[in-house]
Structure 1
Amino acid sequence: MKLLIVDDSSVMRRTIEKHLQNYDLDIVGTAKNGKEAIEMFKKEMPEVVTMDITMPEMDGITCLENMVAIKPDTRIMMITALSDKYTGLQALDKGARGFLYKPVNPDDLIEAFDKLLKRN
Structure 2
Amino acid sequence: MQRLMIVDDSQIIRNRIQRSMRYHSVEVVAEAADGEEAFELFKRYRPNVITMDLNMPKMGGLEAIKKIMEIDSRVSILVVSAMSDRKTGLRALQSGARGFIQKPFTDEQLVMAINKLITTKVRRG
TM-score, reference length from structure 1:
0.96
Offset at residue 26 of structure 1 (A): 1.2
* Structural mapping, 1:22-37, within 5 Å: 22-37=23-38
Residue in 1 aligned with 2:82? 81
Q: What is the total number of aligned residue pairs between the two structures?
A: 119
Name the SS for the 1:117 alignment partner: helix
Residue in 1 aligned with 2:95? 94
* Structural mapping, 1:53-92, within 5 Å: 53-92=54-93
Residue in 2 aligned with 1:9? 10
Offset at residue 87 of structure 1 (A): 0.5
The residue type equivalent to 2:75 in the other structure is T
Offset at residue 104 of structure 1 (A): 1.6
Offset at residue 25 of structure 1 (A): 1.0
Unpaired segments of 5 or more residues in structure 2? Answer: 121-125
* Matches of 2:72 and 2:3, distance apart in 1: 13
Superposition RMSD in Å: 0.9
Residue in 1 aligned with 2:123? none
String of CA shifts for 1:57-114, please: whole Å, max 9, x gaps.
0000000000000111000000000111101011111110100000121111111112
Identity over the aligned pairs, expressed in percent? 39
The residue type equivalent to 2:82 in the other structure is A
Offset at residue 55 of structure 1 (A): 0.1
Which of structure 1's runs of 4+ aligned residues deviate more than 2 A?
A: none
